[in-house]
Chains A and B, each alone.
Chain A
Amino acid sequence: MKISRKSAAVAAVAASALALSACAGGSGDGNSDDGAGINDSESVNIAWNQPFYSYNGNSMTGNATANNVVLYLMRAGFNYYDEDLNLVQDESYGTYEKVSDDPLTIKYTYADTAGWSDDVAAGPADLLLEWVAQTGKYNNIEPVYDEETGEVTNQAEVDAGVYFDASSPGISLVTDVPVIEDNSITFTYSKPFADWETAISPNLPAHVVGQRALGIEDATEASDAVVKAIQDGDVASLQKIANVWNKDFNYAELPDDENLYLSSGAYVMTDFVKDQYVTLKANEKYKGEHKAGIDQVTIRYNGDPMGQVQALQNGEVDLINPQSTADILSAVSALDGVKVESATEGTYEHVDLQFSNGGPFDPNTYGGDAEKAKKVRQAFLKTIPRQQIIDNLIKPLNPDAEIRNSYTTVPGSPAYDDIVAANGQSQYDEVDIEGAKALLAEAGVTSPVSVRLLFDPNNTRRVNQAQLITESAALAGFTVAPYQVQTDWGTDLSNAKSFYDAALFGWQSTSTAVTESDANYRTDATNNHYGYSNPEVDELFNQLQTETDPAEQTRLLGEVEKHLVDDAFGVTIFQFPGVTAWNESKISGVKPLTIAPGIFYGFWDWKTGNAEASK
């Protein structure tokens, strides 16, 4: 046999061409293998940016949106926010009522339909366990630190001690052990607390904690033992309970023990792959009102916003809520069959003025002339181009964006309109350069007045806002300059007060709790970095702390804000824009909420779309 070089080359070319053109073929016997064991369940996939890591969403470690959105699907509770941000009782889980105002006494009663997915009833023991964790009453061992090395010197005792990784200002007012009667539990507050409705929510299953901590197998006995340990203040048992409460429920993939992911709500976790996805299936044992609308929901983790958009286009996910930028919005709007909704999110942008640093807004600068300083502040606030900021920077992301006019309350919540009507902040809606000039002239200060503005120099949107403010304020005679960064803007806010005169940043609202704003505006409160002090505001907050009537709460907040406006404390600007997009052929009924749980709100109304329409 003679093989020429030519024929060898021919063979080589032919073989390579075959390989390059994607190995072709097909013997045509077509044994399409149905025995491949592929799971044929249908699932709706939701993209989220950060993986779940703790089932204990009420602990300090686990209190993160990434956990709480998953827990929202897995846990029923006594109440939830509806579309209009009203707090509504879920009577299929239980009811609660205010038994008395003085002392504030709340009675929680579990419904027969409340239960865990292992067929154990949910009951007062669960709430009692949550109380002991949040109250801090038995937190008897604080870590002690070595002066020189900074190491914890009593680590062994801290580990062994009763230390719950949690704190709640409201529940710490409940100093007596709540009383359990049959299916109900009664909390007595040592003094009234305005936000009692959201002060406590059912968290971990007491029987599982008891089983793990106390080594008791039977669920009822374990739960009873937990109750007894709490009622007796049995430190030895409480130590074990606290350790389990703090540590056992933190996991980054599906744990071996299925008791660690029991469900009391519509969905139960069936799969959890580290950094990849969590799968939730409708909980067959759930007897409550908020039944799963879709049989199986998978939350897939993808931290790249554009990646989420492309995954939506590729059908890998069906519902996304990426960080909003103009690019993301235009990319997602260009997709076929995708419904896009621009909405607002929990954080809001605002400008606060510094009263206590000898700057232009501090009365001391003018020899203690408070009226003069106030005129300068008012003049500056009049120049802040709130509408222009929204038109230029926010409307491209959320066409419906509006000025936020309340210091304390999320737009869209029931009290917002009344508070805005009362506070009068709308006087700053439009830039008033002439008015500002007039005020400056009245105050008799020499312009230009120099204002150092604190903001995050790495945040492009804030840089752009600062630019707009600078331009507008210059017209009235203010020279606005970025402040000199000392360590970083967040730390400087409280530690470098003499370096800035005004601060531009965002606050998060996580709930509609009325006491949340206390820390911002009370004299010397944690978030009041500006030396703002108004005894009437302090007094109003004192009343608010203990006021439990919603209408009265709204009136008090309105008065607080009226003072803030009159004192020219600062202005609020806008609510952060968010974008939600979903594949209409896969899911319908999505109604994102401004505050947590955002896109997961109303999962009971979700419906699967008709899959054949998907492209």
Chain B
Amino acid sequence: MLTFITRRLLAGIATLFVAIFMMYLLVDLAIDPLADLQEYRGADKAAKIAAREDMLNLDTNVVVRFFQWLGHVFQGDFGVAWRSGQDVGTLVSHAIGSTLQLVTAATVLSLILGVSVGIVSALRQYATFDYLIIFLSFLLYSLPSFWVAVLLKQWGAIGFNDFLADPNLSIPVLIVVAALMGLLWVLAIGGSVTRRLQTFGLAFAATLGVMLYVQLTDWWADPQLGPVLIAITGVGFAFALTAVSAGLRNRRALYTALATVAIGVALYYPLQGFFDSVAPSHLMMFGLAIVAIGVGVLVGFLFRGPDWGVSARTGGITAFVIAAMIYIDRVMQVWPAYVNSNAIGGRPIATFGDRTPNLGGNYWVQVLDQYTHLLLPTLTLILVAFAGYTRYSRSSMLEVMSQDYIRTARAKGLSERTVIMRHGFRNSLIPLATIVPIDVITLIGGAVVTERIFNRPGMGALFLNSLQEAEIEPVMAYLLITAALAIIANIVADLIYAALDPRIRVNA
């Protein structure tokens, strides 16, 4: 194993060196640091060109310059972006921060959405729902992100903001939307005719009810979850989660989930007071989330029973969801003040940048402002990545479900839930484990187009701007980091694969 890792690492370093060397030559060919001076008319043009050639060592052979640069990098000096005189190390750390903010939510959400839709699609293979999802995922997969981004700006920001000015839909529109939702659920769940009718009726009624409620209470102007809705949604979620992960026969798991919801709702009002009395921060919220999960696990543990681990897991997940709802509710409370402020002017969804200038405001306002700026770029990334994950998880689930051990599991009388969730789903994740690390890592360097269009100051923007400004140092720092990360991600993916799948053994 050690030999294997060493060999992979050495090969990785060699690849990295060759890649970086070639990239340096190519970047040097691609940029022209004197371009802006070529059109300069002043009498001191020659002097300016000479000064710049001196500054950038342009007289030196590019190979020599590469090794000089490499030498500096080994000493931890990434150089200076010469046009603006900024330190490249600072530039890069700033850019990575912004990119992580964007990429984290997008990856997690597209993974959850993509995998769950893919699994459902696989279970309903060749049903209408499956074809619908295949169509949708190929459509999204083939959309260029710059185009999605522009459309999202037009409809998701400008259109939605216009809608917010007068957030009313006519009753027929509401009915059509509710009917479509009902249909979608029927297609996804399937079953006998009675079952389908029930599903449709329920989904239709729930959707219509919610939309009417939203419209009649002027919810858009003052959005709230409130303890009642948190309780209702929480109980629903508790049942759904238990049904999927433990089975409703596992009463301990169910009671754990319900108890956790009860605790969460009971804490709603005390938490409001708590939030108002402290100066909240991301770190504190992260701590609170951990505490919440801990409480959920503890509740599960207290119910004991033969496999208390299942209850603890259910409790932990439920607690996290309830905590997230309370958090979102608190953020929503600043919405009216936010939307009506002068800086926002009633148009909350932003098309560019990562914050509203001169907004001020407390932690909650800042969080809300970040969300309104993250919304569209995150959606862009999700739409594109979602399609890929759906395809992967669908095909891997289909392959797993046709394996002999699935038939064996069914033959020995396991419930369908157990077969799908425990024997099917888990094994279908193995191929994903090799894709996800590489995806995550490439996204860190790779949201170039999305960042550019939404003007977020991340790694992609750093790369593009530096290339345009003919600054080789930041470009190379970017390429070095992304190349190194890509190579590491490949090694990590290999290792994860070996660890997850006992059929794969590394024989060093």
Contacts and interface: CB of A to CB of B under 8 A. Distances in A.
User: Do A and B share a complex?
Assistant: yes
Contact of A508 (B35, B40, B165, B328): B40
A358 B77 CA distance: 50
A21 B181 contact: yes
B193 interface: no
A37 B461 CA distance: 32
B350 interface: yes
Contacts of B224: 25-30
Given A41-B342, A42-B342, A516-B42, A316 B352 contact: yes
Interface string B32-55: 101100111111111110010010
Interface stretch (A270-278, A370-378, A430-438): A270-278
A584 interface: no
B307 interface: no
B495 to A, nearest CB: 36
B365 interface: yes
B453 A307 contact: yes
A516 B45 CA distance: 11
B229 interface: yes
A39 B38 contact: no
Interface residues of B, number: 104
B293 interface: no
Interface string B207-249: 1001101100101001111111110110111011001100010
A151 interface: yes
Interface string A104-147: 00000000000000000000000000000000000000010100
A490 interface: yes
B59 A150 contact: yes
Given A36-B362, A304-B453, A18 B85 contact: no
A300 to B, nearest CB: 6
A14 interface: yes
A273 B48 CA distance: 31
A97 to B, nearest CB: 26
Given A274-B94, A279-B357, A315-B347, A310 B150 contact: yes
- Dominant SS among interface residues on chain B: helix
Interface stretch (A53-61, A234-242, A558-566): A53-61
Contacts of A24: 210-211, 213-214, 219, 229
A26 B222 contact: yes
B313 interface: no
A64 to B, nearest CB: 8
A347 interface: yes
B452 A303 contact: yes
A181 B32 CA distance: 48
A35 B337 CA distance: 9
Contacts of A276: 353-355, 357, 457
A31 B222 CA distance: 9
A581 to B, nearest CB: 15
A441 interface: no
Contact of A38 (B65, B351, B360): B360
A314 interface: yes
A38 B359 contact: yes
A229 B243 CA distance: 83
Interface string B100-132: 000000000000000000000000000000000
A551 interface: no
Nearest to A1: B251
Contact of B455 (A19, A30, A301, A509): A301
**Most-contacted residue by chain A among B47, B206, B357, B453 (CB, 10 A):** B357
A300 B357 contact: yes
B350 A515 contact: no
Interface residues of A, number: 98
A26 B223 contact: yes
A516 B41 contact: yes
Nearest to B452: A304
Contacts of A22: 210, 214
B42 A28 contact: no
B361 A526 contact: no
A303 B86 contact: no
A20 interface: yes
Contacts of B48: 60, 167
Given A8-B248, A526-B43, A53 B38 contact: no
**Most-contacted residue by chain B among A10, A26, A167, A310 (CB, 10 A):** A26
B408 interface: no
B213 A11 contact: no
Nearest to A518: B43
A41 B150 CA distance: 30
Given A21-B206, A304-B452, A32 B225 contact: no
B345 interface: yes
A314 B158 contact: yes
Nearest to B150: A306
A27 B202 contact: no
B41 A527 contact: yes
Nearest to A525: B43
B6 interface: no
A488 interface: yes
B15 interface: no
B157 interface: yes
Contacts of A527: 41, 45
A527 B38 CA distance: 9
Given A36-B334, A252-B84, A316-B353, 10 more contacts: A11-B235, A12-B240, A17-B210, A24-B219, A26-B224, A61-B83, A302-B352, A307-B153, A316-B350, A316-B351
The 8 closest A-B pairs by CB, nearest first: A15-B236, A27-B226, A39-B360, A490-B38, A25-B229, A150-B60, A275-B457, A12-B240
9 contacts: A17-B206, A25-B225, A30-B224, A41-B342, A61-B84, A274-B457, A307-B352, A310-B157, A315-B345
